[in-house]
Every structure is written in C-alpha cells, then in structure tokens.
Amino acid sequence: MSDLLKRLLDKGLITKKGGMVILSRDGEEAYRDITLVHRAMETLLFRAGLSKEEACREVKEFDYLMSRETAERILHLMGDPDTCPHGQPVVVKE
Ligand SMILES: [Zn+2]
C-alpha cells in the first residue's frame, strides 16, 4: 500500500474491505488533489535545490493541507510541468 493511501486511510477517506482498498467518491477526489499538490510542491522544492527524497519527505507534511487551486497556480508559475521529479504525472486522470 502506498504511503498516500495509508494517510487517506488514517483520515477515513478510504476504507479497507477484505484486503481491498475502497475509495469513496470524496476519497477519489482527495487522492487526485493531494497527489497533484504533492507532485507540484515536490517539483518546486526540487527546483529550489532539494533532492527528490528531501522534497518528497517535506511535502508529505503539508500536501493534504494545501488547496489544489493554489498548487495549480504554482504549477503555472513553473511553466506547467507534466511530471514530478520522480517522473510521475502531476495530473492524475479520473
Ligand atoms: Zn513524493
């Protein structure tokens, strides 16, 4: 289970049933939004000189607190990158 899924589970946005992860509608949206914020801010910190790992670790502390709209503004400011420093797509498709 990914780290993000574990955190969503803690917040009650997803539930586990017989080993399967069930995302509620709100959970799915939250997953996409937090992922976008995470990857946007990771890109920013990486460009500011942090390593990928440092950037990831720091962003985990607040990615679930920042709005998607704010992260989208920062992405725009950075020239709308398609991927994070790990090469993952910033926008998760539905
Ligand atoms: Zn990360």
pLDDT, tens only, 2-42: 778 888 888 777 888 887 877 777 788 888 999 999 999 99
- Is 2 part of any domain? no
Residue 30, H or E segment: helix 25-47
Which residue is listed with tokens 């009650």? 12
pLDDT of residue 5: 80
- Is 48 part of any domain? yes
- Is 62 part of any domain? yes
Nearest Cα to Cα of residue 38 among 79, 1, 3, 77: 3
Distance of CA 40 from the midpoint of ligand 1 (Å): 10
Q: Is the pTM of this model over 0.85?
A: no
Distance of CA 73 from the midpoint of ligand 1 (Å): 19
CA atoms 39, 45, 51, 54: torsion sign: negative
How big is the CA angle at 64 (ends 72 and 70), to the nearest 5 degrees? Answer: 20
Distance of CA 36 from the midpoint of ligand 1 (Å): 10
Domain count across the chain: 1
Distance of CA 4 from the midpoint of ligand 1 (Å): 9
The boundaries of the domain holding residue 53 are 24-94
The CATH number covering residue 56 comes to: 1.10.10.10
Q: Which of residues 43 and 20 earns the better pLDDT score?
A: 43
Distance of CA 20 from the midpoint of ligand 1 (Å): 23
- Is 4 part of any domain? no
Ligand 1 is an ion; residues with CB less than 5 A from it: 56
